[in-house]
C-alpha cells in the first residue's frame, strides 16, 4: 500500500490511503460481479487467516477475497492449533512466517495483538479485529458502502448506537468517518460509553432520539447478552426500549437515511426486523462490499503491483 506494510487500524492511516483502498475496492467489486469471479493477481502468494476468536463472516470474507485474487489461503483457528498446546503468539506467528506466508490476517480477543505481530514478523499484517481496539476492514467497508450510496462522505451526519465500550467496529468507524469529513455521534447507555470518547471528536449521546435526529446514516451495534450479567444494563427488554431502532425512531432521521449493522443482528433487540429488512437497510450490501474491500486491502498489501 504505497508505503504501508500493514493494516492495523484506521487511527493511524491517512485520508489518501483510505481513498486508495476505496477506489481500488470499486474495481474489485466489478470483479466480484462477474460470472467468473477470479483474477490471477495474487497467484503464488500465500495468505494466512490466523483466528483466535470464532468468526464466520469475517474469516469467510477474507478467504473469499484472497481466493478471488488467486492467492493460496491457510486457515488457522485457535481451537485446532498449537495455541491449545500452550504456544505463545510470538512463536505461532514466527512459525507461520517460517513456512512462508506473505500476509497474516489476525483476529484476536485481545487488543494490540495485531500491533505486536508487526514487530515480530516480516510478513504483512492485517488486523481482522483485536479486542475492543479496531476492526479496520469493517470500518473501510462501511466507508465504501456509504460512499457508494451517498456519493460523498464529507458533511454527512453518521450515528453509531450501542455498546461503544466493547466495540472495535465503533472505534474504526469513528476514525474513518472523521478523517473523511463526516460528523460522528455515538450513542449508548452511560455504562457502555468508554471514558473520554468525546476527545476523539465524536459527539456523545445517551438518548437515541436526540442522537439520530437528521442523521444520514445510522449504524446499530450488536448487544451481547453477557454484558447484562456484567451489570452493564438491566435487561434486553429495557435496552431495546431505550436504544433499539424501530420504524418510529427511524423517522427522526433524514428520509433517505441508511441503516447499517456489522452483524450478526439481534432482531427485535437493537434493531427491529422491519427496519432491518426495509429499503433503507444496506446490511446485506455491507457483506458484499466487505469482500471487495478486503480484496483491495490484500491486493495493495501483497504486492499486487508487480504481479
Partner 1 sequence: MKLLIKGGTLISPDQKKIFSADVLIADGKIAVLSNNLETDGAVIIDAAGKLVLPGLIDLHAHLREPGFEDSETIATGTMAAARGGFTSLACMPNTDPVADNSSVIAFILKKARQEGKVNVFPIGAITVGSKGEELAEMAGLKEAGAVAFSDDGRCVSNAAIMFRAMQYARMINMPVIDHCEDTSLSDRGAMHEGYYSTLLGLKGIPAAAEEVIIARDLILAGDTGCRLHIAHVSTAGSVQLIRQAKDRGLKVTAEATPHHFTLTDREVAGYDTSAKVNPPLRTQEDVNAVRQGLRDGTIDVIATDHAPHAREKKEVEFDNAPFGISGLETAVGLVWTELVNTGILSPLDAVEKMTTNPARILGISKGILAEGADADLTVIDPALTEKVDPARFVSKGRNNPFAGRMLAGIPVLTIVGGKIVFEYAG
**Non-local CB neighbours of 75 within 8 Å, separated by 6+ positions:** 48, 49, 51, 59, 63
Q: Binding to partner 1 by residue 206, rule CB under 8 A?
A: no
* Count of residues near partner 1 by CB under 8 A: 24
Residue 134 near partner 1 by CB under 8 A: yes
With binding defined as CB under 8 A, does residue 196 bind partner 1? Answer: yes
Q: In what order do the strands lie in the sheet with 203-205?
A: 203-205, 183-187, 157-161, 217-220, 258-260
Say how far apart CA 258 and CA 276 lie, in whole Å: 11
- By CB under 8 A, residue 183 contacts partner 1: no
Q: Which helix (H) or strand (E) holds 117?
A: helix 113-120
Answer yes or no whether residue 11 interacts with partner 1 by CB under 8 A. yes
Of 191-199, 215-223, 256-264, 288-296, which part binds partner 1 (CB under 8 A)? 191-199
Find the shortest distance in angstroms from Cβ 120 to partner 1.
Answer: 8
State residue 73 phi and psi, 5-degree precision.
-120, 130
Q: Distance between CA atoms of 90 and 71, rounded to whole angstroms?
A: 24
Site string for partner 1, 112-131 (x = CB under 8 A): xx-xx-------------xx
Q: Is 200 in the site for partner 1 (CB under 8 A)?
A: yes
For residues 307 and 304, give the distance between their C-alpha atoms in angstroms, rounded to a whole number.
Answer: 5
- Identify which range of 66-74, 75-83, 104-112, 204-212 contacts partner 1 by CB under 8 A: 104-112
DSSP structure class, residue 245: B
> 242: burial class by Cβ within 10 Å (0-12, 13-18, 19+)?
middle
Quick one: which segment of 21-29, 109-117, 138-146, 237-245 binds partner 1 (CB under 8 A)? 109-117
> Is 111 near partner 1 (CB under 8 A)?
yes
Least separation in angstroms between residue 196's CB and partner 1 is 4
Residues lying near partner 1 in the complex (CB under 8 A): 11, 88-90, 108, 110-113, 115-116, 130-134, 168, 171, 194-197, 199-200
Amino acid at each position: 500500500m504505497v508505503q504501508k506494510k500493514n493494516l492495523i487500524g484506521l487511527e493511524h492511516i491517512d485520508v489518501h490511503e483510505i481513498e486508495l483502498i476505496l477506489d481500488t475496492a470499486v474495481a474489485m467489486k466489478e470483479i466480484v460481479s462477474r460470472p467468473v469471479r477470479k483474477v490471477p493477481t495474487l497467484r503464488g502468494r500465500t495468505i494466512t487467516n490466523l483466528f483466535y476468536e470464532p468468526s464466520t463472516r469475517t474469516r469467510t470474507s477474507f478467504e473469499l477475497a484472497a481466493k478471488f485474487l488467486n492467492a493460496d489461503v491457510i486457515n488457522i483457528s485457535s481451537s485446532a492449533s498449537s495455541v491449545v498446546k500452550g504456544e505463545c503468539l510470538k512463536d505461532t506467528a514466527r512459525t507461520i512466517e517460517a513456512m512462508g506466508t506473505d500476509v497474516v490476517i489476525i483476529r484476536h480477543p485481545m487488543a494490540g495483538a495485531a500491533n505486536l505481530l508487526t514487530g515480530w514478523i516480516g510478513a504483512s499484517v492485517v488486523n481482522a479485529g483485536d479486542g475492543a481496539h479496531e476492526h479496520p476492514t469493517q470500518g473501510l467497508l462501511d466507508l465504501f458502502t456509504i460512499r457508494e450510496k451517498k456519493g460523498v462522505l464529507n458533511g454527512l451526519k453518521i450515528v453509531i448506537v450501542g455498546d461503544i465500550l466493547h466495540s472495535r467496529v465503533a472505534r474504526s468507524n469513528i476514525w474513518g468517518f472523521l478523517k473523511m469529513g463526516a460528523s460522528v455521534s455515538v450513542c449508548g447507555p452511560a455504562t457502555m460509553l468508554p471514558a473520554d470518547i468525546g476527545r476523539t471528536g465524536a459527539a456523545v449521546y445517551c438518548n437515541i432520539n436526540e442522537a439520530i435526529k437528521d442523521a444520514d446514516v445510522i449504524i446499530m451495534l450488536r448487544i451481547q447478552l453477557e454484558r447484562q450479567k456484567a451489570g452493564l444494563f438491566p435487561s434486553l427488554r429495557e435496552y431495546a426500549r431505550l436504544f433499539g431502532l424501530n420504524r418510529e425512531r427511524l423517522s427522526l432521521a433524514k428520509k433517505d437515511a441508511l441503516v447499517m449493522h456489522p452483524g450478526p443482528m439481534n432482531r427485535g433487540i437493537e434493531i427491529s426486523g422491519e427496519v432491518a429488512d426495509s429499503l433503507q437497510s444496506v446490511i446485506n450490501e455491507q457483506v458484499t462490499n466487505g469482500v471487495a474491500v478486503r480484496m483491495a486491502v490484500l491486493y495493495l498489501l501483497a504486492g499486487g503491483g508487480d504481479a
